[in-house]
Structure 1
């Protein structure tokens, strides 16, 4: 797609981040989770307070994907101690890549992923890793296509539902 830009966020954009976070999470997972669990997760993970805290952490940069100044997706990275687990000094975690459903299949996710790899290369980390829900086949396929391999799994709580994330990593050369 033409005219898609990837740019860093600042703390003043927390409302826009909350908006895109909630919409994309609902679009991705609402069909296969209970409404109660979805609401609980949205309230806890995507509150203005929580997102402001995340945006304030210099080790957790966020990036927006924009088309004609409209936010259509976003990326969250974690570096060093900000990584959720396996906090290796020489690694970078991709915590979130989400794109509005209307833009799936239009390379927006690939552009956000490319930004993550660019940041990883600038930091000269040895590998990039992430966790992806075992039922999110589209995302797993995307990461496999980009050279990621499964190496472990962990529990992810969505409300009161205990879910399994497949942990994947890509060694950088």
Structure 2
């Protein structure tokens, strides 16, 4: 089993965009209206938006490869790139997605370990993320990996307000 992780650059924009749309759509299309999915995908993953995110020095993207094929990705944020005020000692995992046909191979765990490695290199004391309250599979995974729910915040899918649980893990 060959698993590799590589940091993304601006040259990866098109692949990142396609991967973002496919994985987000696969994960959430069955529980959301087509109109709200379309609105979210167009605003969150348009080329201009992703280019801004790739250019932000406080954000990093990584692809995970399974047998030399892009299987998923990770986005982490520090400092003012975090989507919530969590302080300078925190690292946010904003996105962690695996293509459906590559799930159940431990790739999410590899990306999570990469996020922890980055956090420790940056002397962060905790990592955190937001996960949709209805995404039971992801919540179970994060709990298994040592995360605990510490709060909640609103997430908008098109015009629908949803609740994301805030989950965190102390590192130091």
Contact persistence 1:81–1:87 (CA under 8 A) = no
How far the C-alpha of 1:39 sits from its partner, in A, is 0.4
Structure 2 match to 1:36: 35
Structure 2 match to 1:12: 11
Structure 1 residues 128-139: aligned runs within 5 Å:
128-139=127-138
For this pair of structures, how many residues does the alignment match?
172
Structure 2 match to 1:159: 158
Structure-2 separation of matches of 1:3 and 1:68 = 5
Structure 2 match to 1:56: 55
Q: What TM-score, normalized by structure 2, do the two folds share?
A: 0.98
Structure 1 residues 5-154: aligned runs within 5 Å:
5-154=4-153
Contact persistence 1:78–1:93 (CA under 8 A) = yes
Structure 1 residues without counterparts, runs of 5 or longer: none
Matched residue SS, 1:86: coil
How far the C-alpha of 1:68 sits from its partner, in A, is 3.4
Structure 2 match to 1:3: 2
Contact persistence 2:64–2:71 (CA under 8 A) = yes
Structure-1 separation of matches of 2:138 and 2:160 = 20
Structure-2 separation of matches of 1:172 and 1:8 = 22
Taking only aligned residues, the RMSD between alpha carbons, in angstroms, comes to 0.8
- C-alpha offsets along residues 39-97 of structure 1, whole Å, 9 cap, x if unaligned? 00000000011000000011100000012332110000001111011231011000000
Contact persistence 2:63–2:72 (CA under 8 A) = yes
Matched residue SS, 2:25: helix
Matched residue SS, 1:38: helix
Contact persistence 2:2–2:68 (CA under 8 A) = no
Structure-1 separation of matches of 2:93 and 2:158 = 22
